[in-house]
Every structure is written in structure tokens, then in C-alpha cells.
Amino acid sequence: MIRLEKRQSPARLWSVAAPLLAVALTMVAGGVLFALLGKDPLATIRTIFWDPLFGDFAFYYRPQLFIKGAPLVLIAIGLSLGFRAGIWNIGAEGQYIMGALAAAGVGLALYPLESAWIFPLMVLAGAIGGLLWAMIPALLKVRLGTNEILVSLMLVYVAEFTLASMALGLMKNPEGMGFPGSRNLSQYPSAANLEIIAGSGMHWGVVAALLAVVSAYVVLSRHMLGFSIRLSGQSPRAAAFAGVNAGALVVICMGLSGALAGLAGMFEVAGPAGRVSIDFNVGYGFTAIIVAFLGRLHPLGIVLAGGLMALTYIGGDIAQGSLGLPIASIQLFQGGLLFSLLAVDVMVNYRLRWAKRRII
């Protein structure tokens, strides 16, 4: 018989190898899935992972890595702080939406005024919008002991209905000939999140993501808040004896993750997306959960995981167009990455042992 035996301490080798092995297993499982759909698995995998970087049109797709990766990294950094502390914010998608709506509200309210202050005000509004939406599950948990997983997740649906209402009502473009959606903010110079270097894909959202990575690394490794986060995640009782205020930590971690998710929404609605629409949200808030865990909740790991996940988005789009692959299969492929990681992660804390079956 094969049984799992608890390790005395987590295995460092497995901790490092688990993400790589999870990616390999996902490719194998994905290949089987693509074969069942009648596609050449090797050609599909090559299209997803190779063509965006080295294919004939790589010069066009490479900048998309920054555009797709920035919101994933920004949201995942915020989520990782809470996850490390044992605080589970699953509603980043809703905070992303509300941050985008708050930022777009500022930009549209001031249209067509031209001022250098409009974009910074939108950045501030986006962060506050996401933060306030995250405060709902945070304060309910602290005051009433509710489950932050359920509350934050349910609020995603509220945010989606709010998005649809705004796209069809208050924020609807009066010059849009009846079509749903707001004015195009990317064409409003004072509110546009334009590329810093033309053709590079580098916009202010990428800069914000890099600053978030550096800040998170410093906080986790050099600041008392980082020590409290790590201690609370590893041993809540020890954290309580050390004087860590559990309620304050919930508010801080949820607030930071909400603010970063709101910023991601702001940079998206002012740049790549350009406007508030019914289908504005594309699941970045949920995909960022995969990015956070694939990156081992470490800032540098999250950058690499964000780039990999952005690659699946871009490669998936190419595969849909050139191979006729359904979008659902790409989403299943991305979700399978998390399940593979969770499965392989068992070996970090457990080892396989062979045991003789007792014959009675």
C-alpha cells in the first residue's frame, strides 16, 4: 500500500519544483484535452507558448505581455499579502470592477476638461473604489465574524450587476447612438493611460505593478507588518502571543489587496479596455489567484507567474483564431494549472511511503 506520511518540515526542493512540475503536468493534461477536441496537441501547445514570443508576428504580441501581465501581477501582489496571513480575499474581481467604475466616474464627470490633475485623480479614485469594496467583507469579518471568502465572492456578482447598470445607464455614452458603454477614455488625453514608450506595451499600470512588487518584497522582508503577516499565517496563536492585532491585520490586508485590484481596474479602463462596458471584466481577479499561488506568494515569483499566465491569454487568443480552439478550453487549461499546483503541493508537506498490507 502507498500512504502519505507527514514531513517534519516542508521540503524545500519540492517547494521550488512544484510550480515547474505543475506547469508540465498542465501541458500534458492540456495536450490530452486538445486531442479530444480534434486538435494537434503539440501544435496547440506551440501556438500558445511559442508563437507569442518567437512566431512570425511576435513583434506585435510581445508588448501584449506587459498589457496582460500588469493587472495580473498588481492584483496577485495584493492577494498574496492576505493569503500569507491566512486571510482569503476571493473577491478581487469585484474590487477590480469597482475601482474601474470609480476611476471612470471621475474621468467622465470631468470630460472634456483638459488638466494634468485628472489622471492622478483617477488613480486615487480607482484605489479608493477597490479599497472601499474590500472593506465590506473585512469589517463584516472583524465585527460580526462572517466568512470573508463567501462575502467577498458574493460581492463580485453585485459588482458585475453594478457594471452592467452603469454601462447601460449613468455612464452610457450620450453620443454612442444607443450602444451600451461609456465614452472611450483612451481617446480623452487627460484621462488616457497611454504607453510610456510607443509600441512597447509599457504603460503606467506596468510601472505600478513593478512598484507593488518592490514594495511587497520590502514589506515582507524588512518591515514589522511583513513579520506580522508571516507569523499570523504560520501560527495564529503565536501571533496573538506576540501582540499581533488580528482584526487590524484583516483590515490592512483586505484594504491593500482591494486598493491594488482597484488600481488594476483603473489602469485597464483608462488604457487597454478604454471604456466601461458590460464585458469589461475578463476574469483578471480570479486568474490572479492562480498567479499568486503559482508564484509561491512571493513577489518575484508572482512576476514570473504573471508573465506565464499572460502568455496563456495571448497564446489562447492566437489558438482561437488560427486553430479554431474554443475559449472554454483555454479557461479550462488555465484553471487546470491551479489544480495541478494544489496536487503537487501535497508533496511539500508529505512524502509517499510503501507499507505492507496486513493480512488478518
Encode pLDDT of 318-331 as tens digits: 999 888 989 889 88
What does DSSP assign to residue 203? B
Q: Does the pLDDT value for residue 18 go beyond 60?
A: yes
d(CA 199, CA 320): 24
CA nearest to 338, candidates 287, 300, 301: 287
Task: Identify the helix (H) or strand (E) that includes residue 351.
Answer: strand 350-354
The pTM (predicted TM-score) of the whole model is 0.93
Mean pLDDT on 312-321: 92
Q: Is residue 247 within 8 Å of 258, Cβ to Cβ?
A: no
Residues 6 or more apart whose Cβ sits within 8 Å of residue 188: 107, 111, 112
CA nearest to 64, candidates 285, 318, 310, 321: 310
pLDDT value at residue 5: 82
pLDDT value at residue 284: 95
Q: Does the pLDDT value for residue 80 go beyond 70?
A: yes
Mean pLDDT of all residues belonging to the chain: 92
In the block, cell 512576476 appears at: 303
Q: Does the pLDDT value for residue 355 go beyond 80?
A: no
| HEC string for the chain | CEEEEECCCCCHHHHHHHHHHHHHHHHHHHHHHHHHCCCCHHHHHHHHHCHHHHCCCHHHHHHHHHHHHHHHHHHHHHHHHHHHCCCCCCCHHHHHHHHHHHHHHHHHHCCCCCCCCHHHHHHHHHHHHHHHHHHHHHHHHHHHCCCHHHHHHHHHHHHHHHHHHHHHCCCCCCCCCCCCCCCCHHHCCCCCCCECCCCCCCEHHHHHHHHHHHHHHHHHHHCHHHHHHHHHHHCHHHHHHCCCCHHHHHHHHHHHHHHHHHHHHHHHHCCCCCCCCCCCCCCHHHHHHHHHHHCCCCHHHHHHHHHHHHHHHHHHHHHHHHHCCCHHHHHHHHHHHHHHHHHHHHHHHEEEEECCCCCC
Mean pLDDT on 168-187: 91
Q: Is residue 84 within 8 Å of 297, Cβ to Cβ?
A: yes
Q: Does the pLDDT value for residue 278 go beyond 90?
A: yes
pLDDT value at residue 57: 86
254 pLDDT band (50/70/90 cuts)?
very high
59-306: CATH, from 1.10.3470, 1.10.1740, 1.10.10, 2.30.30:
1.10.3470
In the block, cell 499581533 appears at: 244
DSSP bridge pairs for 195: 203
pLDDT in tens, 86-133: 999 999 999 999 999 999 999 999 999 999 999 999 999 999 999 999
Mean pLDDT on 289-294: 94
pLDDT value at residue 12: 84
With a pLDDT cut of 70, the percent of the chain lying above it is 98
Output Rg (C-alpha) for the chain, integer angstroms.
Answer: 22
Backbone angles phi, psi at 195, to 5 degrees: -65, 140
Residues 6 or more apart whose Cβ sits within 8 Å of residue 325: 34, 37, 39, 44, 316, 319
197 pLDDT band (50/70/90 cuts)?
confident
Residue 180: cis peptide before it, omega within 30 degrees of 0: no
350 pLDDT band (50/70/90 cuts)?
confident
Which grid cell is 125?
479614485
pLDDT in tens, 22-47: 999 999 999 999 999 999 999 999 99
Q: Does the pLDDT value for residue 357 go beyond 70?
A: no
pLDDT value at residue 356: 66
d(CA 98, CA 86): 24
pLDDT value at residue 360: 55
d(CA 278, CA 20): 36
Mean pLDDT on 217-228: 94
With a pLDDT cut of 90, the percent of the chain lying above it is 73
pLDDT value at residue 334: 87
